[in-house]
Amino acid sequence: MSGPWSDDLVEAARREGALVWLSAWPQPETAKVKAAFGRRFPFLEVDARRVTHPFDIIARERDSNDPTVDTAGPISATTVAAIAGDGYFLPYRPPAASDLPSVFADSGGRWYSTHSMGMSIAFNRDLVPPEHVPRSYDDLLHPRWRGRILMEDIRDWGTSAEWALGVHQHLGETFFQRLARQDVQWYVEGAVTGALDALAAGKHALAPWSVDYMVQLRMDAGEPLGWTNPLQLGRVPANVILAHAPHPNAARLFADWLLAVEGQTLIGRENLGFPARAGAPCYMAQFYPADVEFHISEPADVAREKQMLVEMYQRVFFAGG
């Protein structure tokens, strides 16, 4: 089976015979990836589990006497970077990772990324007419949006830390101070999916932190959503192999396949983000200027700055509460 994987790895995975994968991709997209990988390696029984709280499971797996999970991803690269030295992950550097920009792979081999994504402003098209679609972050400060903006409280959840750091680097704390005057509405759990559910239901007009391809998937399915990315902010998620994976060779093979041309083509074609491999087809590219380069913070940098961001949110948004 030709690819960037070795025959020895294929045979080792064949002997293991199975793979257990925790996926944060939506269920239909997780199923597409599982099916394609299964067609390439039909000797593996793939158990793909769509999860919203993978780090609870990852923590249990590290301390379990009977671990069951092999690999997880895409999941928060910031959280992975913060705990990468605590024995949760089995180091592995896929061969294709050597050809990728450094932001797509940990130098210690503890995680890799298959794609990037735009961090976008999402909105309900029924509540935000075309002439009022935000073309800049300053547009979020217009009085018409007071009480109609939904944001994630990163003090308790924090999947939007990459977005908060990117905005802070470009616009400074002053922007957040001005945004705090907009009577922002807050959510804790559910991350991007929960915010988009609320927007689609018409409960809020705008969410400053979202993911472009996730909004576009729902738009393509007919939901009344839209998105814009004025600062061309981006992020990368992480994929990991768990330290006590029962099928580590199958997990390594999965990593190799995801970063190979076949896996990268699937990710781009099925709208699962911007493929990490340059030149792979990408559905989302049509919505951006040619050769767009996202402003992406290194996950380790975001992890280091997380406390600063939490303290800023407390000071700016919640000082009176």
Q: Looking at the predicted structure, is the pLDDT value of residue 58 above 60?
A: yes
pLDDT value for 156: 77
Common-topology check for domains 7-113+236-287 and 118-233+299-317: yes
CATH topology of domain 118-233+299-317: D-Maltodextrin-Binding Protein; domain 2 (3.40.190)
Tell me the domain boundaries of the chain. Answer: 7-113+236-287, 118-233+299-317
61-83 mean pLDDT: 95
Backbone angles phi, psi at 307, to 5 degrees: -65, -40
State the Cα–Cα distance between residues 224 and 215, nearest whole angstrom: 10
Neighbours of 54 (CB within 10 A): 22
Of residues 83, 13, 23, the one with CA closest to residue 53 = 23
pLDDT value for 6: 92
Q: Looking at the predicted structure, is the pLDDT value of residue 298 above 80?
A: yes
Contact 205, 140 (CB under 8 A): no
Q: pLDDT higher for 167 or 107?
A: 167
174 contact partners, CB below 8 Å, separation of at least 6: none
pLDDT value for 320: 66
How high does pLDDT run on average in the chain? Answer: 94
Pick the CATH number of 7-113+236-287 from 3.40.190.10, 3.40.50.620, 2.40.50.100, 3.40.50.150: 3.40.190.10
